Structure 1
Amino acid sequence: MGFILQTRWTRREPAHRRALDAASDRRPGVSTRACWRASATADRATSSPPAAAPRNQQQQAVAHLRQLLARPQLLQMPCCFDALSARMIHRAGYPLTFMSGFGVAATLGLPDTGLVSYAEVQQRAREITEAIPPTLPVIGDGDTGYGNAMNVKRTVRGFARAGLAGVLIEDQLNPKRCGHTRGKSVVDRDEALRRWAAAVDARATADDIVVVARTDAVATHGLDEALWRMQQARRLGADVLFVEAPRTVDDLQRIADALGDMPLLANMIENGMTPVLAPEQLQQLGYRIAAYPLTLLSASLRAMRDALQVLRTGRPEEVSSLLLDFAETRDIVGFTEYDADSERYRQMQAGE
């Protein structure tokens, strides 16, 4: 069975990979990364008619995300977990964000161990995308796709309907776990490829949503197996590749050397299993996205813990020193915009 599946997938060589090989042959000395950018354009030209102008917010977000990925600069991507954290990321001027599965589970009082349902995650995605403009594209954590290949297709399409610009699909075995915890398992090669193939297939009916393929095979099978899986995900047509939890800087470099013709994501979890590098270092290694999945969540938890401890002392002045000004708080949650709109409608006269 495995051999038959592998043979079938081998025949599904995406046009952008064929164009990459041809570009490399015709243009000696041109970097592989530059060839990828040129070949990605060739892939779209040969596989589909010219795209229409984005019509809705999700399509605008997808178009914006693809423009960001086409640039050479590293993208810092703080991760959100609800609408308010997404709004804070937007106010801070970051170019994109990721809806963290760990963070979403945490806001429900749960560990990231596969306990949160597809419907709950999709609803959270909708809340997030409705709170921010499409100029802050959101990639959603689709985990394992919530089942088999057909479930993956439904997840990808549902995430697009919720307004997400990208979706991550990984190869962990259900129930999945946070990538930087022990006890992980991954599905076999065939099932992993089925998931990524289904996600890529669903992209055509999900407004060209960006597909991020993630492997957790480093922890269970080693880096060589993780690289093999990512090479297959690239061949199937994934847009971004993500090897979770490499242990050393040398491992990060090996990943970039093997896969650097594609946008690569590095997961920067403070006190996690992967060394946390400065953005400049990651860009030099060849990465395109630096994700910070727990920074805002951990900072929020610490701030709440500290405020509760100070509150117990009964000294209001000490509590106030920990807080935002009330006017800024009102502005962040939307009172300024609401009041301006409300006043505009109040002043409208009949016939206007």
Structure 2
Amino acid sequence: MNHPQPAQVLRDLLSSNAFLTMPCCFDALSAKLIEQKGFALTFMSGFATSASRIGEPDLGLMCYSEVLDSASNICDQINIPLIGDGDTGYGNPMNVRRTVEGFAKAGCAAIMIEDQLAPKRCGHTPGKEVVDREEAFDRIRAAVDAKEQGRDIMILARTDARHNHGLAEAIDRAAHFHELGAEILFVEAPQTVEEMRTVCKELPGFKMANIVENGFTPDLPPEHLEELGFSIAAYPLSLMSAAMKAMLETLDALRTGQPRDKLLLDFSELRQRIGFDEYYESSNRYKSAQRKETAPE
């Protein structure tokens, strides 16, 4: 049975005109939980993945192979579309092409390419700068060329020009990204509702809002974001922040000898969500694998 390609599934979701709330993942387990809770798509947050995989801030410290490996692990475990964070493309336009090809082969439905100066920074932290227009356009041109000459993948083009060059420059860049073939546009860090409205009013195609709790962009309800004209709202740090808070609370309980029962999932639910039940159900088809391990090592 032929299944639709991830990029086509994502296009169909966007074309349905249904507003898409998109929690962002940072590994295969967080992505599985997003799918289990009924969300239609997810995004591999560079901020959260850098924190989870190497324990370092999102300041360009992860290399292409590390990011690609994380994306591949996630794609292997979920059936919903994944948007991968391709950062600056890891080099010149030929590197951008290789990055896009790699993410497509890994199974990503889309890849984000941005116009920051390498090494990039999180869009809601200080010190970020963007490359000049022609270099930014070459990155998107190369990304679109890679898509058209290889496996299908949507191009999500991001600009951080609002930070140092103003909203008008960011909109101009994003508009040209669309002309070059980017299907989803992302103007990072508009700082007011009016700026968000302007982005949606002046740009064509599908627009993504990036909602970082306590960041620069207003944290509006989904219905308000939809009303403004956004198609997707990404929440890059919600799960990572919640997981870190829960781990710190549990560590405090362990350190002080306090009860942990209210902090933890039931063991049966933990096993089920990780996939033990599904594994055992499948393994029961094979006589040599009848013995079930019901306790952790």
After TM superposition, is the score higher than 0.5? yes
Gaps of 5+ in 1: 1-53
Q: Distance in 1 between matches of 2:247 and 2:138?
A: 43
- The partner residue of 1:87 within 12, 17, 32 is 32
In 2: Cα distance, 1:110 partner to 1:347 partner:
44
Q: Does 1:70 align with 2:70?
A: no
Question: Could you tell me how far 1:293 is from its partner in structure 2?
Answer: 0.2
Partner of 1:194: 138
Q: Which residue of 1 aligns with 2:41?
A: 96
Question: Which residue of structure 1 aligns with residue 294 of structure 2?
Answer: none
Which of residues 253, 263, 266 is equivalent to 1:322?
Answer: 263
Once the two structures are superposed, the pairs formed by residues 31-42 of structure 1 within 5 Å of their partners are none
CA drift at 1:346:
2.0
Number of residues of Structure 1 aligned to a counterpart in Structure 2? 288
TM-score (norm 2): 0.95
Partner of 1:338: 279
**Counterpart-to-counterpart distance in 1, 2:163 and 2:101:** 30
Structure 2: how far apart are the matches of 1:347 and 1:189?
Answer: 62
Kindly report structure 1 stretches of 4+ aligned residues shifted beyond 4 Å: none
For the residues of structure 1 that align with 2:273 and 2:185, how far apart are their CA atoms? 34
CA distance in 2 between partners of 1:289 and 1:176 (Å):
23
| Contact 2:112 2:155 (C-alpha < 8 Å) held by counterparts | yes
Once the two structures are TM-superposed, the CA of residue 320 in structure 1 deviates from its matched residue by 1.3
Equivalent residue for 1:105?
A: 50
The one-letter amino acid paired with 1:184 is K
Structure showing greater Rg: 1
Report SS of the residue matched to 1:266. Answer: strand
1:324 alignment partner, SS class:
coil
The CA RMSD over aligned residues, in Å, is: 1.3
Contact 1:81 1:100 in 2 (8 A): yes
Equivalent position amino acid for 1:116 in 2: M
Q: Residue type matched to 2:93 in 1?
A: A
1:287 aligns with 2:230: yes
Change (3 A) 1:218 1:160: same
Superposition pairs of residues 200-349 of structure 1, within 5 angstroms: 200-259=144-203, 261-315=204-258, 318-346=259-287
Match of 2:68 in 1: 122
Question: 1:75 Cα shift?
Answer: 0.4
Q: Distance in 1 between matches of 2:118 and 2:269?
A: 42
CA drift at 1:206 = 3.6
Q: Is the 8 A contact 1:157 1:205 kept in 2?
A: no
- Structure 1 residue matching 2:286: 3-state secondary structure: helix
Distance 1:200 1:232 in 2: 13
1:165 aligns with 2:109: yes
Contact kept, 8 Å, 1:81 with 1:297, in 2: the verdict is yes
Alpha-carbon distance in 1 for matches of 2:197, 2:10: 25
Q: Percent of counterpart pairs with the same letter?
A: 53
Distance 2:18 2:279 in 1: 36
The 2-side partners of 1:160 and 1:102 are apart by 21
Contact 1:150 1:198 in 2 (8 A): yes
Report the secondary structure of 2:284's partner residue: helix
Q: Report the Cα distance in structure 1 between the residues aligned to 2:168 and 2:222, rounded to whole angstroms.
A: 25
The residue aligned with 1:37 is: none
User: How far is the alpha carbon of 1:321 from its aligned partner?
Assistant: 1.2
2:105–2:151 Cα contact (<8 Å) kept? no
CA distance in 2, matches of 1:337, 1:73: 31
CA offsets 1:186-236 (integer angstroms, 9 cap, x no match):
000000000000011111234220100000000010001001101110110
Q: CA shift at 1:55, angstroms?
A: 5.0
Q: Which amino acid aligns with 1:345?
A: Y
Q: Secondary structure at the match of 2:242?
A: helix
Shift of 1:60: 2.3
Aligned to 2:23, the other structure's residue is in SS state: strand
The Cα offsets for residues 73-124 of structure 1, whole Å up to 9 and x where unpaired, read as: 2100000000000000000000000001111100110100000000000000
Mapped partners of 2:108, 2:122: distance in 1? 21
